[in-house]
Amino acid sequence: MFDKNRKNYRRIPQFGPLSKAVLRGHDHRFYLVTPGNVLHTGYLKDTVWIPIAAPKNDYRFRNGFDDTLHGLILGATARGLKIINKKMDNLQVWTTKQGLQDDYIYDVLVDKKGFLWVSTNQGLSRINLQDSTVFNFRLSDGLQGKEFNSRTAGIMSDGTFFWGGTKGFNYFRPEDVHINPFLPRVTLTDLKIKEKPFALPIYIGEAKQIELTH
């Protein structure tokens, strides 16, 4: 713990090395993952640890986000996104079974509308907790690459999201991202060879095969 007045660091004696995560919520509650992948929750008074819940072995995560909108702690893990109720009485895990592109989660952010955004090894995904739907963004949507990196996501003061990856970074305002669920079918309406109409025995939109000379 860094003491701003003394300008030095002091060790919290209750813990040894921390292996995964240190997250401080908006209510000043700490979430600490110790060796053995055990999650501890509590408060710090000076350097004294005040636990508020029993350690949880299956609630571990690498790094997370305090989702004050839903009252949740969102944990990024190598085996999916862990959604932890702050009362520590409920745990959900989102993986490819629920629609994500990959189980390896690097970072997670929450936008103003309550959508969860997660970066993975296979792109970026947006989760809607209200209807349990997932939309996956791919390279064709403008991603810097499929793979992102841990602790590279952040929200700027104007609401812009930043996500760092192996080939650069993406940035956008979530409210400016409009998803069109309708994917129109591609239809051929005309065929020209050297800018001149090419005659076919049937309408090109109904042709299953077209043979051309070299």
CATH of 2-183, one of 2.130.10.10, 3.20.20.450, 3.40.50.880, 2.10.60.10: 2.130.10.10
Comparing 58 with 172, the larger pLDDT belongs to 172
Predicted confidence band of residue 10 (pLDDT cuts 50, 70, 90): confident
pLDDT in the model for residue 20: 67
pLDDT tens column, 160-207: 999 999 999 999 999 999 988 787 888 899 999 999 999 888 999 898
Closest listed residue to residue 163, CA positions, set 177, 175, 176, 146: 146
| 203 Cβ neighbours under 8 A, 6+ residues apart | none
Domain boundaries, the chain: 2-183
CB 101 within 8 A of CB 114: no
How far is 141 from 86, CA to CA, in rounded Å? Answer: 34
Measured between alpha carbons, how far is residue 147 from residues 74, 88, 123, 126, 166 in Å?
20, 31, 6, 16, 6
| % of the chain at pLDDT higher than 90 | 63
Predicted confidence band of residue 106 (pLDDT cuts 50, 70, 90): very high
**Most confidently modeled of 2-11, 18-27, 31-40, 120-129?**
120-129
